[in-house]
Structures are given as structure tokens and as C-alpha cells.
Amino acid sequence: MFAHMDWANGRILEVLRAMPEPPPQALDLFAHMLTAEHVWLRRVQGTPATYAVWQPLGLDECERLARANHQGYQTLLASDDRARIVDYHMSNGTAQSTMLADILVHVSHHGMYHRGQVSLLVRASGGTPVSTDYILFVRELH
């Protein structure tokens, strides 16, 4: 799931970079997707987030954050117990406890949802969206 997420984020970044002027709402959604990945990673790690969930970012900062998220999740996936319960606070301060496996599924699905929105905005702005379907990722592997 997370290799696909990294691949799909890279494809969205390429599409937005290829546009003379990416739709602002598409960039905001892409930044949100990446900052949410960051916030969840930091919750799991038990460290404060350095980005807010809806923090606007430029494409260069999106690229850096996508790379950092990928590295962080790779380290997490290589070493952590997915049955572990993670205690954290939501953005509104509410305390929560969730199994790590469920957080990981949420993070990967959250990105799928927003990549679809970004693709719709790219098409509506005259750009050519790119497919980020999992099956295309698998085909590229082989």
C-alpha cells in the first residue's frame, strides 16, 4: 500500500509540475494529503507535527514532504507492530486510541480519495490527469 502511495504521489506531483499553472485547489488538496500523511506519521511516532493538516505548500515543499513521508513510513513499516495501539490527540484536542494497522489503512485510503479529486481539478483546468490506479502500479513493477 505504501509503495503504491509513494508512486501515486509522484505521478500527481509530475502532473501538477507539467501544468503552466496548477489549479490552486488541486495544489491545496495535494498539500493536504501530504500534510495529513505527515501528521499521522508523527502521531504514530509520538512526536509533534511540523505541518498543520491544511497547511498550504508549494510544489517544491510538497516534493520534499512526500519524500520525508515515504522514508518515515518505510522505517515505521520495517520495525513496528501493526497491532500496537496508538494513543494520540486529534487536531481539536480530543484524545483517541487506534490500532496502528487501522491508521495505516486510513492513511493509504485518504490519499486515494484526494488523488481522485486532484485529477478531476486537473481535467477541469484543461490539463491531462494521470491514473494512479493500483493495477497500473503493479504492471509497472513487472
Q: Are the C-beta atoms of residues 98 and 85 closer than 8 Å to each other?
A: yes
Domain membership flag for residue 21: yes
Q: How far is CA 1 from the centre of its chain?
A: 11
135 occurs within a structural domain? no
Which one-letter amino acid corresponds to residue 103?
Answer: I
What's the CA dihedral at 105, 110, 112, 116 to 10 degrees?
160
State how many domains the chain has: 1
User: Does 122 map to a domain?
Assistant: yes
Assign residue 82 the CATH number of its domain.
1.20.120.450
For the question of whether the overall pTM of this predicted structure is more than 0.85, the answer is yes
Q: Can you list the alpha helix ranges (DSSP code H) found in the chain?
A: 2-18, 24-45, 59-79, 100-124, 134-141
DSSP 9: H
139 domain residue, yes or no: no
Contact 27, 98 (CB under 8 A): no
What number of other Cβ atoms are within 10 A of residue 104's Cβ? 19
Q: For residue 11, count other CB atoms closer than 10 A to its CB.
A: 17
Query: Could you tell me if residue 142 is inside a domain?
Result: no
Is residue 93 one of the residues assigned to a domain?
Answer: yes
Contact 110, 41 (CB under 8 A): no
Identify whether 138 is part of a domain. no
Instruction: Provide the residue-wise pLDDT of the chain in tens; the chain has 142 residues.
Output: 999 999 999 999 999 999 999 999 999 999 999 999 999 999 999 999 999 999 999 999 999 999 999 999 999 999 878 999 999 999 899 999 999 999 999 999 999 999 999 999 999 999 999 999 999 999 998 8
Domain housing 54: 2-127
The candidate with the shortest Cα–Cα distance to 23, out of 128, 113, 110, 131, is: 128
What grid cell was written down for 75?
522505517
